[in-house]
Structure 1
């Protein structure tokens, strides 16, 4: 037999308090009985009853656990991989203070509201790389998010293929480590500015692996300039480069992987819709098993103590004859 709670100093003090107070009561009764030349032996019957139900109340408080009961344990899993575009076009100021800074400002809110177990972070431009592995620690992840800068990635234009591949590899690695029954979600934050890619075979592989891809287009179709020193980035002809949101490929990836496309700019912030869509995807049942656990049987001594208290109240004994 085990106990739900340990016998601590508090329980010891309660026992001593009962003994001192009831001992004083018995002493007073015996003195009165002596003054009237009586023995008052019937007091010991009440004493025995009260001691027993006092002990039973203490046992119920400590929670005796014995025997075994079966309990079904179900654990669910949902993992989210965040991919943030770190190409030079994310410095454009058509979204204040810049496209990348806007994402960094909004992501902590996403971490707080998203219903997930583990979240990882990827940075990408022409190549993709892990910044933070899947973690339960959102505070640590926020530090990685706030440290995101475009100089962490190659200066070339962004490509979606590398980020889709690294997501597939990381989720595949979890399947190999017996985490196959977890909901897998990839969330891409990008302006969609690429050089055109044929992603159909890779999209089909993601769909077969049940990886849901959500894409957030950051920027405006009107476009924005990319700061460079005290001026703006220019092409070979000396013309200021204007980078625009290109959502077509992002929408295509999201639609074909059972995800959704959203936008984030000066006038539109669909982050709440993104959170709702991610939370709407049910977690896979990761594991179901039945285990035997010791059952807390506090109810039985508590019931017996209650019956003895009722008996004590209803059963009247004459202790002294006056």
Structure 2
């Protein structure tokens, strides 16, 4: 794209110059064809290396085109770190997270990867932490204190049930409270995102439908990561119980709120997912003026045309 597209009109006289050159070349060939004594013509107008003459003009034309484009201020897409943003990390601590289908266990992998996410997230981004089992608990409100968040992740304890809806509502409330306390009057609240890790469906608390509606109303995307595999099991009271990962609900949450859905069957895969989400949250795309590159390239080509003219004809014109 161009920031000053009106200057693209400069390409019109460049095109006109090219047309004039072609007309002059056509007339020159016509004149040569009409001259009856070609040998006599050669004594008056010695043969010149035509391709060199054309190459010189071609370089001049390219230089003018590039310089004209540079005047229109071309813009390139670049990644720019966000100045402000709020992220809530929601981690499932239900008993099914004890399954070892993701080694050494789902919860151990989640803790380690969660701490890696803390390190991967740009330092200017405020990060909060919510754990959820039978209920949702705000362990850390949004903060720049990475050590506090990592410490809370390390202390996570398992409990019964899975309150995914409550986790989203708790995160939304934390985001709203933080935004109201840090955003000046008249300013736009910073962008927010919820990153939710879970291996199952919502079993207690408010419904996913109401949680999704609340997230959409608040304009907060929820990215979800499904933990575990279809063959996961846990032992409760001496009995082995299957706890297959349930992707359906998590996929719905992400799709409905505009977030992204991922599956993480191993620690390495989960780290890759976190890196991707951290990049999405921590950076935004912006259009930056790159006209200087065009001016530099145009001047180089223009100097090449001048050098070719001096080398092959001993003059610039």
Instruction: Quickly name the TM-score band, shorter chain normalised.
Output: 0.5 to 0.7
Shift of 1:209: 1.1
CA distance in 2, matches of 1:266, 1:191: 13
**Greater RCO between the two (CA within 8 Å, min separation 6)?**
1
Structure 1 length-normalised TM: 0.56
Task: Give the structure 2 partner of residue 156 of structure 1.
Answer: 160
TM-score normalised per structure 2: 0.57
Secondary structure, counterpart of 1:241 in structure 2:
strand
Q: In the alignment, what sits opposite 2:246?
A: 246
The corresponding residue for 1:233 is 236
Sort the Cα spacing of 1:95 and 1:145 in 2 relative to 1 into closer, same or farther, 3 A. same
Q: Which structure shows the higher strand fraction? A: 1
In the alignment, what sits opposite 2:230? 221
* Between structures 1 and 2, the one with greater helix share: 2
Structure 2 alignment gaps of length 5 or more: 1-80, 285-317
String of CA shifts for 1:73-117, please: whole Å, max 9, x gaps.
Answer: x98211111111111111111111111000111122211222352
| SS of 1:240 mapped into structure 2 | strand
Report how far residue 272 of structure 1 moved: 2.0
Displacement of 1:255: 1.0
Cα deviation for residue 265 of structure 1 reads 1.9
User: In 2 relative to 1, CA 266–282 (structure 1 residues): closer, same or farther, beyond 3 Å?
Assistant: closer
- For residues 152 and 207 of structure 2, the distance between their equivalents in structure 1, rounded to whole angstroms, comes to 31
Distance 1:188 1:171 in 2: 14
In the alignment, the residues of structure 2 paired with residue 202 and residue 190 of structure 1 have an alpha-carbon distance, to the nearest angstrom, of 15
Bigger CA radius of gyration: 1
* Residues 107-256 of structure 1: pairs in structure 2 closer than 5 A: 107-115=114-122, 116-150=124-158, 155-179=159-183, 181-195=189-203, 198-224=207-233, 226=234, 232-234=235-237, 239-256=239-256
Per-residue deviation at 1:266?
3.5
Residue 106 of structure 1 corresponds to which residue in structure 2? 113
Question: In structure 2, how many angstroms separate the alpha carbons of the residues matched to 1:97 and 1:283?
Answer: 32
Q: Indicate how the Cα distance of structure 1 residues 209 and 248 shifts in structure 2: closer, same or farther if over 3 A, else same.
A: same
Query: How far off is 1:131 after superposition?
Result: 1.1
1:177 Cα deviation (Å)? 2.0
Show CA shifts across 1:145-176 (max 9, x none). Answer: 111121xxxx4310211101101111121232
Query: How many residues of Structure 1 are paired with residues of Structure 2 in the alignment?
Result: 199
RMSD between aligned residues: 2.6
Whether 2:95 is the aligned partner of 1:95: answer: no
Aligned residues of 2:193 and 2:281 also touching (Cα < 8 A) = no
